[in-house]
Structures are given as C-alpha cells and as structure tokens.
Chain A
Amino acid sequence: MPIRKVMKANEAAAWAAKLAKPKVIAAFPITPSTLVPEKISEFVADGELDAEFIKVESEHSAISACVGASAAGVRTFTATASQGLALMHEILFIAAGMRLPIVIAVGNRALSAPINIWNDWQDTISERDTGWLQFYAENNQEALDLILIAFKVAEDERVLLPAMVGFDAFILTHTVEPVEIPDQELVDEFLGEYVPKHAYLDPSRPITQGTLAFPAHYMEARYTVWEANENAKKVIDEAFAEFEKRFGRKYQKIEEYRTDDAEIIFVTMGSLAGTVKEYVDMLREKGVKVGVAKLTVYRPFPTEEVRELAKKAKVLALLEKNVTFSVGGALFQDFSRALINEKEKPVIVDFILGLGGRDVTFKDLDEALGIAQKALAGEEFDEVNWIGLRKEIL
C-alpha cells in the first residue's frame, strides 16, 4: 500500500531518489535544496538506501562526480539550485554530450546579483540549451513523481539524456503538503534496474568516454543530442502513460485546465499554475472565457502540443518567472518559434512576474488579464509586460 505523508518538496525529492535506488549521490548544500541531500544522507546512514553518498566541495564537483559515476555505469542523482546549477553549467553540457542519464532535482531559485534565495525559474531556464530534459512540478507530489519519470525517460535507450526536475523555491521546497509515496515494488517495476547500454566500465571492453571530436565528428555528435531530445517527446508520453497506469496520476507535457471555449489561455509552469487555476475558476464564475495551460515538460519543447493549444485560443498570455534579454521571457521565444509558420495563430502577450520570490497575487493577474483583453479586442498592447513592477522606486 502506498503511504501518505505530509512533507516538503525537498523531502519528496529525497523520497523519489530513495525509491529510484541510485548507486551514487553526490551533492553540495545550497539553499533552498539543501534538505534533499540531507535527507538522502539520512537514508544512506540508516541503511535504507544502499548508495555511495559523496560529499563534495562544490556543485561543479557534485555534477562531475555524477558524470564519473554515470559513465562507470550506475544510476546517479544530485540536487541543487540557482548559483549551484550555474556552477555546474560546463559539466551539464558534458553530461548531455556523453549521453549520461543523470537526474538533478532543482529547487528553482533566482540568480545573483543581487543575492536572492527565493523562487523564479532563471536557474533552470538558463540551462535550457545544455541538452538536458526539463520537467517542472506544480506541487510536492509532482516533484516526487516527475523525478521517477525523469529517470525512466533519461535511461530509455532512445533518449539517454540527463534530466532536471524543477520545483519552486520555498513555495514548494519548504512547504508541507500530503504526498503519496508509492510502493517500492511498483517503482522497481516501473523503473527497472539501470542497465547501461553504452557508458560503463568493463575491463573486457576498453573505451574512452568524453573524448575529443575533431570537426569531422563534432557536428554529428551534437546532432545526436538534438535527435535524442526529439526522441524524448514520444518516450515522455509513453512514460506518462505507464506512470498513470501504475500509479493513477496523470501527466501530460502540457496540462490544460478549462481551455475549451477559452478566448484567453494563460500559459505557465511550476507552482504558479496552481494559483492561476484558482484565478481562472474565479473568472469563469463571472463568465470570463479563460483557461490555463501548464507546461510540465519544457525541454524537449512540446512544439506539437503548443500548436494544438494555439488553435484553441485567440490570445496566449504567457506568465513567466524568467528574463531573456531583448525578448521578454524564454517561453515567449519558444512559443513564437513554435507558431511563426502557422497560418492561423493567436496573439501572444508575454508577462514577466514573480521574479526573486515576489508574490504573484490575483491583483497582478488582473493586470495581466487587462492587457490580454486589450490584445483580444484588437487594441494596442505591449508584447512584453513586467507585472507588479514597482516603477515608483526606479
């Protein structure tokens, strides 16, 4: 029987790691994800998880140790956030290029300067071009589930790419919610034991990993990472379906909420989706035709699903906790790219909000809705809007 426990997303992530039975966990503490390795180290110390727990002196070392362990052929896990993830940056490319199915839990946090430990998505969004798969959790249960799914997809022969699962700093990492911990046997069946296909150490099979590629081969190597990302789209759907069958919880790359007959669809990720669902419920009672689309998967970018979604709305209002300079938010770029060659497309309005832990209130959402409604009415509007910005102190 699955047990239900009240826990923080950090603990949920640690439980996911425990259930996935990685052989090596290497981690360096960083706010707000410190509790993840802390909890895992307890599991290891108590003999509940048979793994090597490597205490390292930086995130660069943490991910490097993971690369080494994964290249040696075992399931590998770590957790980090913000500057820690940024410090891993160069190794993130290496992990993807070497096609090592490492999983990282990321407590999504703003980047310095100024130093800020609270939530936005700039850390993982900044790593969107590393080749890693990216999942975003709305609540603590999703944090647990998506880590299991991330392992499943990452280790699939058709994919073999590392994956990161983001969950919002403090809003999720430090907030308790009831979480269902699935049965170990069911997780074992779902994930299976990790049997490395290409990357493993065996004296009878001498290989060089992470090797040099001359111009004659580098481009092809990069293409295979691209191809693996494309393959991941189908594999993720399969993993979601299998997860639902076994555990009863349904996941989709883009989860839609009250989008049928919606004129304006708010698009967002992470815990903000929960807030916006409430907001949409309230608006629907007043007869306003709005809906929500939540991106559970951000890389590979669900282009086809975005095109389907776009057919349903006149305005897509993107609510983003990240900045891509001169563009707006990263989603704005991705959505524009997905829709640019479509014959019929909705108007896209971009909203940057909630940076560095700024609360996103219904008042903020009203402001966004007002602009989206202007766009809907064919009036002039700004493509990029900073919501809740305190202009008076600038």
Chain B
Amino acid sequence: MAESPFKAEIERVQKEYSEKMTPGAIAVIPGSSVVNKTGSWRVFMPEFNRDKCVRCYLCYIYCPEPAIYLDEENYPVFDYDYCKGCGICANECPVDAITMVREVK
C-alpha cells in the first residue's frame, strides 16, 4: 500500500486527539476500506465450485462490492475480506457454481 500523502498531518492530529474526544465526534483518522475490511459482518459466504464454472463472469459483473476478481486462468476468486455475503453472485450464476453456506468460525 502506498504511503498517504497526508501522513504528517494525520500523525499530528492522531497525537493531538489520541486520548480526547474531538468536537462533533469527528474521526481525525479517517477510516478507509483499505484498512477497514467490510466483510467482517457476513453471515453467509459464497462457496465456489471451480468444476462447474463456465467463466461467464456474471458473478464478477454483479458483485456490488466488488469482491470478485479473476485469477490467471480467468476463474473468479472471492475476496472474503470484502465479500458481504449478499448472495447476488450465487443468484446470478447460471450453472449453480456458487452456493451460499452459513459462515462458521
């Protein structure tokens, strides 16, 4: 990850407000989806069956996150750091290569 151009400013403010509330409860260290993984509140997760997949990329197009990227052989890969478990990919897949399964620790 590239270094933030605001590093110095961020560090200064971080220091100033490390223990204090900011007025208006402003977050001076703004969150970013690079840091805050958005897949942490998922209940169901897509389970991918590579054998069934016909590489139509409907899942790739429809994923709202987008948490699906393609590997070297152009098969979908699911990024569970960001997949929120909505199940759209499984619904869109024409050959049922994706099944939604309950997430277990």
Whether A207 lies near B23 (C-beta < 8 A) is no
* Residue of chain A at shortest CB distance from B13: A205
Q: Mark B15-55, 1 if CB is under 8 A from A, else 0.
A: 00000011111111011000000000000000000000000
- Chain A: number of interface residues, binned into ranges: 20 to 34
Of A74-82, A94-102, A359-367, the one touching chain B: A94-102
Question: Which residues on the B side are within 8 Å of A208 (C-beta)?
Answer: 26-27, 30-31
* Residue of chain A at shortest CB distance from B4: A206
Q: How far is the CB of A44 from chain B (nearest CB, A)?
A: 28
Q: How far is the CB of A100 from chain B (nearest CB, A)?
A: 7
Question: Which residues on the A side are within 8 Å of B56 (C-beta)?
Answer: none
A160 within 8 A of B: yes
Q: Could you say which of A98, A198, A207, A213 has the most chain B C-beta atoms within 10 Å of its C-beta?
A: A207
Whether B31 lies near A197 (C-beta < 8 A) is no
Q: How far is the CB of A183 from chain B (nearest CB, A)?
A: 33
Q: How far is the CA of A217 from the CA of B30 in the complex (A)?
A: 16
Q: How far is the CA of A224 from the CA of B23 in the complex (A)?
A: 8
Instruction: Please pick, from A205, A213, A221, A224, the residue contacting B6 in the complex, using a CB distance under 8 A.
Output: A205
Whether B13 lies near A160 (C-beta < 8 A) is no
Whether B25 lies near A207 (C-beta < 8 A) is no
Question: Which residues on the A side are within 8 Å of B9 (C-beta)?
Answer: 204-206
* Residue of chain A at shortest CB distance from B12: A205
Q: How far is the CA of A126 from the CA of B13 in the complex (A)?
A: 38
Whether A199 lies near B25 (C-beta < 8 A) is no
Whether A198 lies near B27 (C-beta < 8 A) is no
Whether B6 lies near A160 (C-beta < 8 A) is no
Q: How far is the CA of A207 from the CA of B17 in the complex (A)?
A: 12
Instruction: Please pick, from B6, B21, B24, the residue contacting A209 in the complex, using a CB distance under 8 A.
Output: B24
Question: Which residues on the B side are within 8 Å of A99 (C-beta)?
Answer: 23-24
* Residue of chain B at shortest CB distance from A202: B9
* Residue of chain B at shortest CB distance from A223: B21
Whether A207 lies near B28 (C-beta < 8 A) is yes
Instruction: Please pick, from A160, A217, A220, the residue contacting B24 in the complex, using a CB distance under 8 A.
Output: A160
Whether A211 lies near B23 (C-beta < 8 A) is no
* Number of interface residues, chain B, beta carbon within 8 A: 14
Q: Mark B63-77, 1 if CB is under 8 A from A, else 0.
A: 000000000000000
Q: How far is the CA of A211 from the CA of B30 in the complex (A)?
A: 9
A199-B21 contact in complex given A204-B6, A205-B9, A206-B10, C-beta closer than 8 Å:
no
A199-B24 contact in complex given A204-B9, A205-B6, A205-B9, C-beta closer than 8 Å:
yes
Question: Which residues on the B side are within 8 Å of A160 (C-beta)?
Answer: 23-24
Whether B21 lies near A211 (C-beta < 8 A) is no
Q: How far is the CA of A97 from the CA of B25 in the complex (A)?
A: 8
- Residues 221-240 of A contacting B (Cβ, < 8 Å): 221, 224
Q: How far is the CB of B34 from chain A (nearest CB, A)?
A: 13
Whether B25 lies near A98 (C-beta < 8 A) is yes
A199-B13 contact in complex given A205-B6, A221-B21, C-beta closer than 8 Å:
no
Q: Mark A134-169, 1 if CB is under 8 A from B, else 0.
A: 000000000000000000000000001000000000
Q: Mark A178-217, 1 if CB is under 8 A from B, else 0.
A: 0000000000000000000111000011111101010001
Q: How far is the CB of B31 from chain A (nearest CB, A)?
A: 6
- Residues 29-44 of A contacting B (Cβ, < 8 Å): none
Q: Could you say which of B10, B23, B28 has the most chain A C-beta atoms within 10 Å of its C-beta?
A: B23
Whether A217 lies near B10 (C-beta < 8 A) is no
* Residue of chain B at shortest CB distance from A157: B23
A207-B27 contact in complex given A217-B21, A221-B21, A224-B21, C-beta closer than 8 Å:
yes
A198-B6 contact in complex given A205-B13, A220-B21, C-beta closer than 8 Å:
no
Question: Which residues on the A side are within 8 Å of B30 (C-beta)?
Answer: 206-208
* Residue of chain B at shortest CB distance from A199: B24
Chain B residues in the interface with A (C-beta under 8 A)? 6, 9-10, 13, 21-28, 30-31
- The 4 A-B residue pairs with the shortest CB-CB distance, nearest first, are A99-B24, A208-B27, A221-B25, A198-B23
